[in-house]
Amino acid sequence: MKIIRAKDYKDMSRKAANIISAQVIMKPNCVLGLATGGTPVGTYAQLIDWYNKGDVDFSEVTTVNLDEYRGLPRDHEQSYWYFMHKNFFDSVNVQPDRIFVPDGSNPNAEEACREYDAIIRNVGGIDLQLLGIGEDGHIGFNEPGEAFELGTHCVDLTESTINANQRFFNSRDEVPRQAYTMGIKTIMQARKVLMVANGANKAEIIKKAFFGPVTPEVPASILQMHPDFILVGDQEALSLI
Ligand code: PGA
């Protein structure tokens, strides 16, 4: 595990974007596992900036996103498909046929998840997986208490996650109750894992996840066992370690 301390959110975003750019430069046809949430938005903005300056080229890159709400069509403003296009894909040259997000519009959970695992396998696995972390230690939508050995699967969102996500919807009732997510096994199989974390509200969980016991109660704690895991955090998120 490698920990990189950043001054603030902008610095965290720049450092994370640097690691992603290095990956793309070293292996132009790499597979990037991408994440939604507030934390990586600055990282995407930095990558867009470098793309516009001609410093990084995504034309051969394949992307697989971590998760998607079950029941939201792609064009729903709160779908992760939509989020990724708005915050990244619409501004860079990732080829549309190399963009993959679990199919939230497929009500057949078993089929949607099986197909997604097949996609990840067929593209040769993930070279670099970007992750945020939930205040309860979730990664993707892998909530506390879930088995470590799962591939892509359907999950019921916890109350804490529904509450955290309600800010993006008109009302709490509109927040989907289920999601399709890569499992911990999928994430652990990525050749490199890069986590971004900022803000004081992440300090406790960062300490617990990376300096406490490895347990399914803290899903991110398994990353202690990953052979190439990098955490980039700002001062506030890393204040307790
Ligand atoms: P955030 O979400 O980046 O919006 O804090 C992180 C997560 O829940 O994985």
pTM of the complete model: 0.95
Q: How far is the CA of 232 from the centre of ligand 1 (A)?
A: 14
Write the residue with the smallest CA distance to atom 2 of ligand 1. 37
Q: Mark whether 136 is an active-site residue.
A: yes
CATH of region 2-234: 3.40.50.1360
Rg (the chain; Cα; Å): 17
pLDDT at residue number 161: 79
User: Which residues form the pocket of ligand 1, taking CB atoms under 6 Å from any ligand atom?
Assistant: 37-39, 132-134
Low-confidence ranges of the chain (pLDDT < 50): none
* Helix segments in the chain, DSSP class H: 9-26, 41-52, 80-87, 109-122, 159-165, 184-189, 203-211
Concatenating the DSSP letter of every residue in 74-97 gives TTSTTSHHHHHHHHTGGGS---GG
* Contact status, residue 66 vs residue 36, Cβ threshold 8 Å: yes
What type of residue is 19? I
Q: Where are the domains of the chain?
A: 2-234
Q: Mark whether 143 is an active-site residue.
A: yes
pLDDT at residue number 107: 94
d(CA 29, CA 12) in angstroms, rounded, equals 25
pLDDT at residue number 151: 95
Q: Mark whether 67 is an active-site residue.
A: yes
pLDDT at residue number 158: 84
User: Given the CA of residue 196, which atom of ligand 1 is nearest to it?
Assistant: 3
Looking at 68, 136, 146, 234, which residue is catalytic?
Answer: 136
pLDDT at residue number 197: 98
